[in-house]
Structures are given as C-alpha cells and as structure tokens.
Amino acid sequence: MRGCAAPAIEDTKLLENTILNVFKLKDRDYLIPAIDWFNRGTASLNIFNSFICYFIVIDTISEILDKGKANFGLDYSLKTKEQIKQDKIKCIRNKIDLLLKEDPIRFVEVAYSECNLSTSRKIRILLERVFGESHSFINDMFKKKGKYSLYDIRNRIAHGDFSFTDVDEVKIVKKRFHEIKNISYELLIRIIFQINKDEKIPKWSNKHTAALEMSDPRSIQVTSHLNIFPNKDWKINSEWIE
C-alpha cells in the first residue's frame, strides 16, 4: 500500500497564510541555529543528548533576546544595568530563604547559576512572552515534579550528575522527555509563524489517501477498518474478463 497526504483546499489556504507570515518575520535568520539544534535533538539516538539539544533551542532564543540581537516581534524590552542588578539581588535573597540554612553548598551553586548567570531568568521571560505567564510550560520548566523540574534535569545532565548507565536516571529523563521537546517545538512554531500566545496553533485536516493494488483474484488483503475501501459495487463485470 502506498499512501500520501490529501490536503483539502482549506489546508492549502492555511499553508499559504503560514508561509506568508514567515516572510514577515524580519529576524528569521537568527532562528537558524535554534532550528539546527532541534534537528540535532530529533536525529540523536541518545536521549540525554536529545534532551540537551531541545533545551539549547530554548536557551539560544532566550540569549538572542537578552543580548538585543533580535526580538522576533515579541513584546520584549531590554533592562538597564541597574534593573538587572536589582533582579540579581532579588533572586539571591529568594535563594537565601529557600536554601541557605538547609544546604549552603546547594545555595551557592543555585544562586550562581540562576541568579548571577541568570539563564533561568532569560528563559522564564521568553516563555512568558511567547506562551503567557500562567502557561503550563513554565511550570514544567521550573516547578519540580517529583524531585526535578526540566531545568533541574538539564543541569544534572550538563554537569554530569546524571549518567546514562544509571537506569533510574535514564527513566527520569525519558519520563519528562516529551515535555522539553514539546516546549522547544511549539516555541519555534509560534515564533516562526508569528502565532500570538492567545491563539491556538492552526492544524490541517490530516487527511490521507492510499492506493490499493490487487490484480490477482487469489490475493487476500486484511484491514481493521472498512472505511479505507471505496463505497462501490465489487461484483465482477463480464467486460473485465478477457
């Protein structure tokens, strides 16, 4: 059986409008590295590598925004040095309340990575701009499920705290893998096609067609659903017989 997509007229109109939106995006060339990282994540056979690649998609775009190289049509204003300093102070004070007494070493690690390097701040701002402040993707990224958030898992893999030889750690990554992939995919789609956070991503009808060849009357074909066969008379006509 050979199958192919069978888009309706409405689908072609959707495709046309979508493509036109791409050309309206002035900063689209800055997305090429992020798209490349997404493709690398899809191609990798190692789930740890794939997870990191999908995370880098998000990290790359947030860094471009933060450096002011592009804004991708998002409502994003750069902060002054003083505002950035105050954000760091606020972040460190928050970590003091959460971690300092219970785990001073962890406090230093987290305060440096999340407050001084501020990767998490950049990513949070990006996700809020693209998806909205209350979107589930933000909770997935920063709120712990069990012991880890997606951001925690990224840090564990990147710093070598998770090992591919540890079955339990591999299970943790596999369980959350679809979440990081979904975030990076929808992030790219919404930015590339300029889809507002209040709009749903448009989908095509997903209709397909298949060709069935059965020239030998001794052949047998089995199907789980009769709808794939045309609704017509299957009686053998005399003109078919030579």
β-bridge pairing 208-211 and 2-5: antiparallel
- The ranges of the chain with pLDDT < 70 are 1-2, 75-79, 116-117, 212-215, 217, 228-230, 234, 242
101 found inside a domain:
yes
DSSP 8-state secondary structure symbol assigned to residue 239: G
Phi, psi of 38 (to 5 degrees): -65, -45
187 found inside a domain:
yes
DSSP 8-state secondary structure symbol assigned to residue 235: P
Report the distance separating Cα 142 and Cα 119, nearest Å.
12
CA dist 66 to 23, 55, 144, 159, 207, Å? 23, 17, 25, 24, 41
**Cα R_g (the chain), whole angstroms:** 25
What six digits make up the tokens of 114? 């999340």
Residue 2, H or E segment: strand 2-5
Q: What is the pLDDT of residue 219?
A: 72
Please state the domain count of the chain: 1
212 found inside a domain:
no
210 found inside a domain:
no
12 found inside a domain:
no
What six digits make up the tokens of 62? 């947030």
4 found inside a domain:
no
CB atoms within 10 A of CB 209: 10
Q: What is the pLDDT of residue 35?
A: 95
Q: What is the pLDDT of residue 2?
A: 65
Q: What is the pLDDT of residue 222?
A: 75
Q: What is the pLDDT of residue 87?
A: 79
Residue 114 burial by Cβ neighbours in a 10 Å radius (0-12, 13-18, 19+) = buried
238 found inside a domain:
no
The domain of 30 spans: 26-192
CA dist 190 to 18, 135, 142, 235, Å? 11, 14, 21, 52
226 found inside a domain:
no
CB atoms within 10 A of CB 205: 12
Q: What is the pLDDT of residue 43?
A: 95
Report the distance separating Cα 150 and Cα 178, nearest Å.
11
Residue 167, H or E segment: helix 167-192
Q: What is the pLDDT of residue 76?
A: 59
Q: What is the pLDDT of residues 177-189, one digit of tens each?
A: 999 999 999 999 9
